[in-house]
């Protein structure tokens, strides 16, 4: 797994390429929490190139969602695969995250919600 973190306009973009599994889910969690601890409460996770995510990775996203929500923030997912979308729906987590097609769409969503 490769993770790229980009900070833009008070938003953190976390781009995940590959699998989030037992070996690297702690790194994924650390990237999410580092952004939040740094004062960013609008997070975009680009999961378009994510092939697999385990329960620890899902837990990291839920934890990040809960933390940003406490500060009236939001967490958006860019292009979740059909499989990830179905998994989140089965787990009844699909309503937590805003699904978007691009970073710019996430930016528009945050602006509409007056989060920026």
Q: What is the pLDDT along the chain (116 residues), one digit of tens a residue?
A: 999 999 987 899 999 999 999 999 999 999 999 999 999 999 999 999 998 999 999 999 999 999 999 999 999 999 999 999 999 999 999 999 999 999 999 999 998 887 65
Enclosing domain of residue 84: 2-112
Report pLDDT for 10.
85
| C-alpha to C-alpha distance for 31 and 2, rounded to whole angstroms | 11
Report pLDDT for 115.
62
| C-alpha to C-alpha distance for 12 and 107, rounded to whole angstroms | 11
Report pLDDT for 97.
93
| C-alpha to C-alpha distance for 7 and 89, rounded to whole angstroms | 29
Number of domains in the chain: 1
Entry pTM: 0.92
Report pLDDT for 8.
84
| C-alpha to C-alpha distance for 63 and 81, rounded to whole angstroms | 21
The enclosing domain of 47 has a CATH number of 3.30.750.24
Report pLDDT for 108.
92
């Amino acid at each position: 797994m490769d993770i790229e973190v980009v900070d833009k306009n008070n938003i953190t973009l976390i781009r995940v390429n590959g699998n989030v599994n037992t070996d690297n889910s702690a790194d994924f969690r650390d990237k999410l929490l580092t952004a939040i601890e740094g004062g960013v409460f609008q997070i975009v996770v680009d999961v378009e190139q994510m092939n697999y995510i385990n329960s620890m990775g899902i837990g990291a996203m839920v934890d990040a969602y809960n933390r940003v929500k406490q500060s009236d923030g939001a967490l958006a997912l860019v292009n979740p695969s059909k499989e990830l979308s179905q998994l989140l729906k089965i787990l009844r987590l699909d309503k937590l995250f805003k699904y978007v097609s691009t970073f710019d769409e996430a930016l528009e969503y945050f602006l509409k919600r007056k989060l920026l």
